[in-house]
Chains A and B, each alone.
Chain A
Amino acid sequence: MGVKQTCHVRNEVRRLRESSDLSQGQLAQAMGVSRQTINSIETGRYTPSLPLALALARYFARPVEEIFHDDTA
């Protein structure tokens, strides 16, 4: 069965970042991406690659599915 490619992926990046008392710039620097990329992920405009999603999960010490959810599930 194919995976639906058009599903909307919600995420908890903003909540986790704010609870860690980090700015977007600080998280961006830790992930090796731009601040705009973190902003786009948080607002749901950009879905990160699997390596970046895994890096975020590792950084916040959470399972990746706890940070990224399929909105249609």
Chain B
Amino acid sequence: MMTPRDPVDRATQRSILATAAGAAVFVAALLAIGSTSRPQLGLVLIVAVFAGLALATFVRNRRTHEGTDERARDNHRRAATVSWYVVGLALVATMAWTQVRQGVVAAEPYGYLLTLQLVSYAGTSVWRRWRGL
């Protein structure tokens, strides 16, 4: 018999929705600034927002362990794995498309990036096996 599941944690859902809304407002603000006569203010906004986020995340993690405990690391690993596959597939598709449309030379940068991705993966795997992990 399975353990009965609680309703999903509402506070976490609210926090995720607030973050998504904040990101949307941030992008909208950047677009708005970009269409003014002083688009360089966008850079100031980016620096201020990311510095604030880094500080807030640091303080929150020290207080709650929310972004640093084992479950957060596990989630990070899973998200990184998905991201690795997505980027890899995008690189393969872009390289193939560029080769067909613009020739082999034009597609070389994508090939280098793909090689870097595969070499970093293989290197990490070999290193971990070498260490007996």
Residues of A within 8 A of B (CB): 8, 10-11, 28, 32-37, 39-40, 42-46, 48-49, 52, 71
Once the chains bind, are A43 and B3 in contact (CB under 8 Å)? yes
Once the chains bind, are B2 and A28 in contact (CB under 8 Å)? no
Once the chains bind, are A10 and B3 in contact (CB under 8 Å)? yes
Cβ contacts under 8 Å, A43 to chain B = 3, 5-6
Q: Which of A8, A11, A33, A48 gathers most chain B CB within 10 Å?
A: A33
Tell me whether A34 and B2 are in contact in the complex, defined as CB-CB below 8 angstroms, given that A28-B65, A39-B9 are known contacts: no
B72 interfacial by beta-carbon distance below 8 Å: yes
Residues of B within 8 A of A (CB): 1-3, 5-6, 9, 12, 64-66, 69-72, 74
- Majority SS at the chain B contact face: loop
A10 to B9, CA, bound (A): 19
Cβ contacts under 8 Å, A8 to chain B = 2
7 CB-based A-B contacts, threshold 8 Å? A10-B1, A28-B64, A36-B9, A36-B12, A37-B71, A43-B5, A71-B2
Once the chains bind, are B3 and A36 in contact (CB under 8 Å)? no
Q: Shortest CB–CB separation between residue B19 and chain A, in angstroms?
A: 14
Q: Shortest CB–CB separation between residue A40 and chain B, in angstroms?
A: 6
Q: Shortest CB–CB separation between residue A15 and chain B, in angstroms?
A: 11
